Structure 1
Amino acid sequence: MKKLLYLLCLAGGLLSAEAQTIDDAYRYSTTELNGSARFIGMSGAFGSLGGDISAIAINPASSAVFLHSAGSLSFNINDIESDNSFNREVYTNGQSDFSLGNLGGVFVFNASDGNKWGKISLGINYSEMANYDDNFGVRGFTTKSIDQYFLQKANGISLDNLQRRDGESVNELYSYLGGNYGFDHQQAFLGYQAYVIEAKTNNPNNTEYFSLVEPGTFDQQYQYAATGVNGKLSFNLAGQYSDWLYVGANLNTHFINYERSSEISEFNNNSSESNFNATTDIYFGNNLSTSADGFSLQLGGIAKVGDNIRLGYTYQSPTWFNIREETSQYLETNSRENDFVSIAPNVINIYPEYTLQLPATHTTSISFLFGKSGLISGDFGFTDYSNMKYKPEADLYFQDLNNQISSSMGQVTTLKLGGEYRFDNLSLRAGYRLEGSPFEGENTAGELTGYSGGLGYRFGNLSLDVAYALANYDSSINPLDGNAVNPVYRDRSKSQVVMTLSFGL
């Protein structure tokens, strides 16, 4: 039985050309609802409220709303259910995990009497922006074979580059092609050496290929396993001017750790007795390891309009990530003539570090306060995903990729609504959020809708809060680029239980 996590030994470093995609950019730009239980219970509608540690991640002026120094610690229990459709077959899977969702503190310094700057606050806040843990398997029948992926990569490449010289190993040629020609040459090499494709002529200058897989029906399986986290650490400075204006700034540091292993396989009985060269089984595995660090800046303000209305605005600058990636691959086949063939280069592809610039976000907010008995709050966010860019922009591959992003991704609006009602020391909360899809036609990711609720109780200087949130959204994964095989369509539902302990300092 094939194992998804295929162990590859490092035979030598490889400096290779690009293999990034729009899906990578979308993955690293997508964030989830994370924070304190009070924040989650109101669906994150805190842009004009402040007074909550995790609200610092939304509006840096939030820390100046605190009357006293405070801290909080939040833990999440996440449960994700997915209906995964592949080649018209549907498979359901679920998984749960436990994580640190939010941790932070605010230190408030009151000014002397007569100073228009009534107080200054310093804050630090950690938020888990996205959790990448995911694991599923699907199976279905189709007339589209994996062979098309290798044909797309190979056509136009000289046969001379895919043939090993006397004494040359698979590792050596695979590494040489990656360092000198790039990703497509490596894929063509795998397909040719594993008898998925064949050259039309034996001329070393040949650039045309045909498939060794007979047409017909294919039993395809796809296994996917990923883990990782996207985190943000905010260093905050804010102040209160007079008794009506709060302003603040965040300097944010970001990090990403992401690992993924996948295998797509197919089986067929299409070969005829006269064609013993036909390939019947294919196992194609890919592993990706990503690490990144980045930074961004936030500027925000909250203004009191009378006794009952609060207005807020936040500018979130673009986020600049420096990304490092490593990949490894294997391709194995069965056929009547060649029997079992394994092309598994013991090579780690180490890609040149590159920059991914995520788009800026503008958020406007309004809240209505009903004395000490409750409030209603709303946030409206705007992000233009077509402004995402891979850099250096002088790179021809990145130029093509950036053109694809600008033409296939667009503007996204986000709406968050939340409310809170208080009975003495007990608080009840509810929220709703709606996020649009950044993709034209919503083919890769659909609209997200979410609901939340929670409660909290204050014990003097301590408070304990609990929240529950549910979000529904559609997405898709392409097992192979170029639409060589059908995508996996996913109907996903994520539920969260968040517990927060808050305390005065």
Structure 2
Amino acid sequence: MKRIYIFISLLLISGITFSQTADDALLYSKQYYNGTARSTAMGGAFGALGGDFTAIAINPAGVAVYQSSEFTFTPEFSFNDTKSFNMDAKTTLNDDKYSFGISNVGFVSANKQRLNSGSLKNFNFAIGYNKLNNFRKTAMSSAPSAPSSLLDVMVANSNGKSPNSLNSFREYMAYETYLIDVIEDTDNEYEAITGETLNQAQTIDEKGYSSELLLSLGANFDHKFYIGASLGIQSLYYKSRKIFSEEIQAGSDSDFNDYSFEESFKSTGVGANFKLGIIYKPTQTVRLGASIHTPTFYSIDEEYHSSMVSHFNTSDENGYSNYAIKSPEGEYGYKFRTPMRVNLSGALVVNKRLILSVDYEMLDYSKAKFSDGDDGDDFNGSVDNPDTNDIIKSAYQNTGNLRAGLEFRATPTLSVRAGYAKMGNAFDISELDDSFDIYSGGFGFKQNNFFFDLAYSYTDRERQFYYYSTPDIVSDKIQENNKNHQLRMTFGFKF
């Protein structure tokens, strides 16, 4: 039971931790194939279809399906609305964030064989960019009349340590701003500035993305069998800022008033993977596809710092009532490996007017792994003292992502589309479930060598977390509901 508690509590902590966590592994491993508007509208179900730049990211054999060269450009607009509900105090706060960006830029060179070269009909090349994930979000929450205080956790973490040996990113700052102090005539035992019930509030602002630069080659044999391979260069940028505060309640006569604790974190990384895929057309109606993606091998660098400010209602003997301190600037580098992915796909193309497509992606999040920390850490622990990789192995599982799409060509120039995706649960713990649904739709218009696609997608995700949690001290439980709306427009040119 103790090990299960450790796993759950570590995965449910909200905020920024200046160390590599199992939550980071999940954040860096999640990918969504929504680069182009057509792919977005059809739920990303393109593994057996090809002929779309995002399809190449799913199954590189898709590059061989092209019969003409093509350039695509896809701007995107995103709106995030986040509601945080305190499940104990029954309070609710909302915040939202807009973002604009580029979801896709792609170029495909289709090269038809001009001489009689047997079964080889096309040998195509593609280079371009797809966005894989968008981390932009702002969430606000509160805990009025909180049952405990973060200062209680800091006291527990400090007991038995001299002030100079306290964590310089957290407990030492609380000591220097007079929020915790050593009890007189004790062997470094600490106490908080107040034992009163406090009101708590937290704001987390996140931004960033993961993306992939693709270099793909593919061959078309007799317009029945397609094979392709690609090299993916993935980029990662994630930045977050958390402000946690506690204040006395109205009517208190305490000398202490409030404090705020701010943590800032940034990670950047570059990684590489290799993909191999095939598409087979047993008939003109049926298409089958399969692809395998090696893990992405990342090199990641982190930067982090924190600060703390306390406010008192009365001045000290030097005339100060406010105290502030900043931590050192921290840096750390390490390697990270995402899970391998396998995609199986099938599609029906009926009279070149109706397309029904389904993809199923299999991956095992427990295979994600950290290694080669700058300080020599391998992130492996023991049964009694698990480290990050141990928590990943025990907390995550093998799962699957289902994607389905429909396209109907209403006229020679206009197509309408709809899609659905079910993203599987990464957790192997009954108390946790991060599965969610994506609903999408859109249309496409083409005229001569130009085409325009528009897509909308909607995602409703939910998670639960604590501000802090130990076997003895726990905050209120917060339920966060995030509604994400995305709009993409692809401009394409065939030549």
Please state whether the residue corresponding to 2:172 is helix, strand or coil: helix
Match of 1:189 in 2: 172
What secondary structure, in the 3-state scheme, does the structure 2 residue paired with 1:62 have? helix
C-alpha RMSD of the superposition: 2.5
Give the alignment partner of residue 159 of structure 2, picking from 155, 161, 167.
155
Aligned equivalents of 1:421, 1:288: Cα separation in 2: 46
Tell me how far apart the structure 2 counterparts of residues 240 and 31 of structure 1 sit (CA, whole Å).
Answer: 28
Q: Mapping of 1:137-216 within 5 angstroms?
A: 137-141=140-144, 142-156=146-160, 158-159=161-162, 161-162=164-165, 184=167, 186-200=169-183, 206=187, 208-216=189-197
Contact 1:215/1:270 (8 A) holds in 2: no
Which residue is equivalent to 1:11?
none
SS at 1:109 equivalent? coil
Partner of 2:119: 116
Show CA shifts across 1:345-396 (max 9, x none).
3631122x10111111111001111121111000011111111111128626
Q: Tell me, what secondary structure is at the counterpart of 2:170?
A: helix
The residue aligned with 2:273 is 296
Following superposition, the deviation at residue 194 of structure 1 comes to 2.3
Give the aligned partner of residue 71 of structure 1. 71
CA contact (8 A) 2:176 2:325 kept: no
1:439 aligns with 2:448: no
Please state how far the C-alpha of 1:208 moved relative to its aligned partner. 3.9
Q: How does 1:340-489 map to 2 (within 5 A)?
A: 340-345=321-326, 347-351=328-332, 353-392=333-372, 395=377, 397-399=379-381, 400-422=387-409, 423-441=411-429, 446-476=434-464, 478-480=466-468, 485-486=475-476, 488-489=478-479
Q: Is 1:88 the counterpart of 2:78 in the alignment?
A: no
Give the alignment's TM-score, normalised by structure 1: 0.85
Partner of 2:480: 490
Indicate if the aligned counterparts of 1:303 and 1:310 stay in contact, CA closer than 8 A: yes
3-state SS of paired residue (1:44):
coil
| Structure 1 residue 58 displacement after superposition | 0.9
Shift of the alpha carbon at 1:201?
5.4
Return the offset for 1:78: 1.2
Match of 1:500 in 2: 490
* CA distance 1:271–1:323, change in 2 (3 Å): farther
Shift, 1:20, TM fit: 2.0
Q: Does the 8 Å contact 1:214/1:279 carry over to 2?
A: no
What is the CA–CA distance in structure 1 between the aligned matches of 2:128 and 2:431, rounded to whole Å?
A: 35
Matched, 1:318 2:295: yes
- Contact kept in structure 2, 1:444 and 1:477, CA below 8 Å: no
Aligned to 1:51, the other structure's residue is in SS state coil
Q: Call closer, same or farther: CA 1:475–1:160 in 2, change over 3 Å.
A: closer
Contact 1:42/1:420 (8 A) holds in 2: yes
Question: Which amino acid counterpart does residue 294 of structure 1 have in structure 2?
Answer: G
Separation (CA, whole Å) in 2 of partners of 1:481 and 1:327: 22
Matched, 1:287 2:268: no
Would the alpha carbon gap of residues 457 and 480 (structure 1) be closer, same or farther in structure 2, given more than 3 Å must change?
same
Q: Which runs of 5+ in 1 are unaligned?
A: 1-16, 163-176, 178-183
Unaligned runs of 5+ in 2: 1-16, 382-386
Match among 226, 231, 234 for residue 246 of structure 1 = 226
Residue 135 of structure 1 and its aligned partner are, at CA, apart by 2.1
Instruction: Find the aligned partners of 1:56 and 1:27 in 2 and give their Cα distance.
Output: 23
The alignment-based identity, stated in percent, is: 25
Amino acid at match of 2:462: D
1:232: Cα distance to partner? 0.9
CA distance in 1, matches of 2:324, 2:491: 53
Q: Distance in 2 between matches of 1:88 and 1:396?
A: 42
Q: Residue in 1 aligned with 2:6? A: none
Could you list the per-position Cα deviations for residues 270-320 of structure 1 after superposition, in whole angstroms to 9, with x for gaps in the alignment? 9997xx7x7542211111122111111111111112221111111111111
CA–CA distance in structure 2, aligned partners of residues 295 and 481 of structure 1? 36
Change (3 A) 1:116 1:195: same
Look up the SS of the partner of 2:393 in the other structure.
helix
Shift of 1:185: 5.5
Deviation at 1:160, TM superposition (A): 5.7
